[in-house]
């Protein structure tokens, strides 16, 4: 957890320095964004067999870019529905329908990314590829306590790696992979030795955004 805080602090400090040193020449834009969230759960045991499912996401974004060097950041406030289909393997407590439904979680997700755009001579105003990376902070807005054995965590921290393309300086199509850094759920095998099973989010997010 200390490493997560340290890395996140460095990213946020870099953004603040970027803002303070180049604010006069920077470009600030707002936009709307929507897309699909394809979620996986990485358990610390093989207690569950699972199958990825596609959820959805939508919300608002803000982009700050420094001209010439084309470096900046974007931050979003997104509603995200994540889901995955899972079943127990032999020897573990049978999941109820309610607990399986509990794998579908709703979040307010706030990703904060450093963004670098590649300036292509002659066509930069038409096509501009970009890469992003940064932390994401997701806050649970759906049910936390699914049963006595199954609980969702209220905050999920991940690190995102993304890429995309901007078209006509208005539309951005992007894909990113989120690597969960904290446990998103906890399951206690109440019928056995009370073994604790923990799961972390792993997810692809594909979005399209319109910038004003």
Average pLDDT, 10 consecutive residues per value, the chain (212 residues) = 61 61 72 93 67 85 89 95 68 65 84 94 90 96 79 92 96 97 80 71 95 94
pLDDT at 144: 83
DSSP state string for 155-198:
EEEEEEEEEEEEETTTEEEEEEEEEE-S-SEEEE-TTTT--EEE
The dotted CATH code for 2-211 is 2.40.160.20
pLDDT of residue 69: 84
Strand partners, 164: 130, 174
Q: So what's the pLDDT on residue 83?
A: 79
pLDDT at residue 12 in the model: 63
Distance CA 161, CA 174 (A): 11
Extended beta strands in the chain, E state? 27-43, 48-66, 71-82, 84-88, 105-117, 127-140, 150-152, 155-167, 171-180, 185-188, 196-211
Let me know: does 54 contact 36? Beta carbons within 8 Å.
yes
């Amino acid at each position: 957890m200390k490493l997560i805080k340290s890395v996140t602090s460095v990213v946020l400090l870099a953004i603040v320095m970027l803002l303070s040193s180049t604010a006069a020449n920077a470009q600030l834009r707002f936009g709307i964004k929507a897309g699909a969230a394809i979620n996986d759960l990485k358990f610390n045991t093989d207690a569950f067999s699972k199958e990825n499912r596609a959820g959805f996401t939508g919300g608002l974004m803000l982009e700050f870019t420094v001209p010439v060097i084309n470096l900046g950041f974007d931050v979003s406030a997104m509603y995200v529905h994540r889901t995955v289909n899972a079943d127990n393997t032999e020897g573990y407590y049978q999941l109820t329908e309610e607990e399986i439904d509990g794998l579908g979680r709703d979040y307010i997700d706030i990703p904060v990314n450093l963004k670098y755009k590649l300036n292509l001579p002659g066509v930069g105003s038409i096509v501009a590829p970009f890469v992003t990376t940064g932390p994401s902070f997701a806050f649970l807005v759906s049910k936390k306590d699914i049963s006595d054995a199954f609980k969702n965590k209220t905050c999920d921290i991940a690190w995102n790696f993304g890429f995309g393309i901007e078209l006509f300086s208005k539309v951005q199509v992007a894909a990113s992979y989120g690597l969960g850094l904290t446990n998103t759920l906890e399951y206690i095998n109440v019928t056995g030795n009370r073994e604790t099973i923990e799961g972390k989010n792993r997810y692809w997010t594909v979005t399209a955004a319109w910038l004003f």
